[in-house]
A and B are shown apart, each in its own frame.
Chain A
Amino acid sequence: MEQVTLFLQQLLNGISLGSIYALIALGYTMVYGVLRFINFAHGDIYMLGAFSGFLVAPLVTRFIPLQQYDTFTPQNFFTIACGAGLVMLTSMAICAVIGVLIEKIAYRPLRNKPRLTVLITAIGVSLFIQNMTQYFFGAEPKPFPQLIPVHPIEGLGDLTILTTQAAIILSTIILLILLRFIVMRTKLGMAMRALSLNPMACSLMGVDIDVVISFTFALGSALAAAAGILVSLDSPSITPLMGNLPGIKAFVAAVLGGIGNIPGAAIGGLLIGVLETLVVGYLRPELRDAIAFAVLIVILLFKPTGLLGRVEREKV
C-alpha cells in the first residue's frame, strides 16, 4: 500500500513539473509550426517571465498584501487568486511584447535565409538575454516573493499536495483550455494553423503572415512567462540561467510529442516531467538532467516525427 502511495506521490510531482515543461514546450512547437525553426531563446523568455514577476510583484503587493496570508481560507482565496493572477498576467503581457520584439528585430530579417542562420541568431539572442539579465540582476539567485501561501492541502490522506503544486496544475489546465479555444476558434488561431500547413497558400489567401507570426510569438512567450511565474511559486529562487535546462527539456518534450503539434507538446511535457520525477525517485537523482537528452536521442533515432507528428518527405 505504501508503495502505491509513494508512486502516486511521485506521479503527482511529475505532473506538476511536467505542466511547466508543457507550457514552455507549447511555445517551441507553435513557433516551429509556423516558421520551421527552433527558437533557441525560448527558455530565456521563461526566465524573463520569472524576473518580470519578481519586478511586478512588489507593485501588486503594495495594494494587495499577498505576503500576509499564511494559509488559504475560503475567505481569502479570491483575493489571493486575483493578486497572484494579476502578477502572472502582467508578466505574461511583458514577455509577449518581448517575444514579439525579438522576432521583429532578430528573426524577421532572416525569414528567407537558411534555417541554420536563424538558429545561430537565436543562440545569440539567448546568450544576450541571459547575460544582460545577469548584468542587471547579478548572477546570484534572487528570492522570488511569496504570492500564495505555501502549505500542504488537507484531507488527501497520505498524499502531500502543496498549494503551489495545485496552483501549477490548475493554472496549466486553464491556460491549455484557453489556448485550445484561441487556436481552434479564433481567426488568428485558424490563420496560425493554416500557416503551419501551407505558408504559400496562406499568403495567397490574403492572410497577413507577419501578424500571424507576431501573434504566435506573443502567445508562446506568454505561456513561457506563465511557466516562469508558476515555477517560482514552487521554488522561489530565480537566476538568469534558470531557463537553460527547462528550455532544453521542454524542447525535448515538443519533439517527443511531435514538433509542430500542439496537443503533442502538452502531452510530451507531462511525459518528460513524470519520467524525470520517476527517474529521480526510483533510479538515481544525478540522472535528472541527462534523462531528457537520452530521451531526445532515442526519439530522434527511432521515431523522429515524435508521438503525434507527421512526416515531411523531401522532394527529389
Chain B
Amino acid sequence: MTSKRLELQSCTIRFGGLTAVANFSMVVGPRELVGLIGPNGAGKTTVFNMITGVYQPTEGQVVFNGERLNGLKPFVITAKGIARTFQNIRLFPSLTVFDNVRAAFNVHLAHGPRHAWWRGGKFRAEEAQIETKALDLLKIFNLDRHRDVMCKSLPYGDQRRLEIVRALATTPKLLLLDEPAAGMTPTEKKSLMRLIEFIQEHFDISVLLVEHDMRVVMGICRRIYVLDYGIKIAEGAPEAIRRDPKVIEAYLGEEPES
C-alpha cells in the first residue's frame, strides 16, 4: 500500500467566471486524520464535492489508492471506498434510523432485484447479516435504542452522528466529515472527538475533517490544511497552524479559539 490514500494534484474548479478552488493539492495518508479549515466560503465543501464526484475539477486530478477519480459518478466513488457526511444533514427523512443505515449497505450488495423478488436462502442470509452489521454500527454510536424511530425526529446531534454511521455502513477507506460538530453541545463535541478517533483506529479509516470548531480540529487532527478564497494558505501540524500569521490574518475578527 502506498503512503498516500487520497491525493489531490493541483485541483482547480471554476463555476463560470468564479474560481472556487485554485491549484489545490493535498494528501491524506492511510489511517491519517487530516483537518481542512478556512473561513466561510473558502471552498472547503467544494473540495469535498470535488473528491466525491458531485463536481468535476476543471483542472488537476483526484487520485484515490493510486486510481484516478476524475469523471467518475458519485456512487462509483463511494463504491471505491470514499464516504461522506453533509454540512446540512441529508438523511433519508422517510426512513427509520435503522433503515437509513441498512440502505447504505446497498453499495456492496451481492443480491439484486431477482434475489429480492425470490427471497431465497442466500438473500435472507445476506439480509440477516446486514441487519447484524447495521445494529453493531448503531451500537457503537449508542443509537441502537432509536432504531425504529423516524430519523427526522432524532435530536440534532444524533442526526449528525447517524450520518456518520450511515457513511460507515458503506465500508469506506476514507471518510469525509463536513462539519460534524456543528450544532452540538460541548459534551457532545467531546464524545464526538473520541468517536472519530475510535472509528479511525477501529475501522482502519482515514478521515478528512472540515470543521469550524477549532478545538475539535486542533484536538484530533495531526495535520491541517487551511483554505482561504479557494487558495491553500497553510498546511502543517496544529501548533504551527495556530501560530501561522497568514492563518491568523484570514481569520481576523474570528480569531482561532484555543
Contact = CB atoms under 8 A, between A and B. Distances in A.
Interface of A: 313, 316
Interface residues of B, number: 5
Contacts of A316: 45, 49, 54, 86
Interface in B94-141: none
Nearest 5 A/B pairs, CB to CB: A316-B54, A316-B49, A316-B86, A316-B45, A313-B15
5 contacts: A313-B15, A316-B45, A316-B49, A316-B54, A316-B86
Nearest to A315: B88
A316 B54 CA distance: 8
B98 to A, nearest CB: 25
Interface in B59-75: none
Interface in B118-177: none
A316 B48 CA distance: 10
Contacts, number: 5
B44 to A, nearest CB: 13
Contacts of B15: 313
Contacts of A313: 15
A3 to B, nearest CB: 46
Interface in B174-188: none
Nearest to B74: A316
B7 to A, nearest CB: 22
B167 to A, nearest CB: 15
A67 B86 CA distance: 69
Contacts of B86: 316
A316 B87 CA distance: 9
B182 to A, nearest CB: 16
Nearest to B86: A316
A316 B47 CA distance: 12
B144 to A, nearest CB: 30
B45 to A, nearest CB: 8
Nearest to B49: A316
B75 to A, nearest CB: 14
A316 B15 CA distance: 14
Interface in B34-88: 45, 49, 54, 86
A316 B55 CA distance: 10
Interface string B195-230: 000000000000000000000000000000000000
Contacts of B49: 316
A316 B52 CA distance: 11
A316 B45 CA distance: 8
A316 B90 CA distance: 10
A313 B18 CA distance: 14
B200 to A, nearest CB: 25
B36 to A, nearest CB: 16
Nearest to B55: A316
A309 to B, nearest CB: 15
A316 B86 CA distance: 8
Contacts of B54: 316
A313 B45 CA distance: 15
A233 to B, nearest CB: 47
A313 B49 CA distance: 14
A102 B54 CA distance: 40
B88 to A, nearest CB: 9
A313 B55 CA distance: 11
B184 to A, nearest CB: 22
A47 B86 CA distance: 48
A51 to B, nearest CB: 43
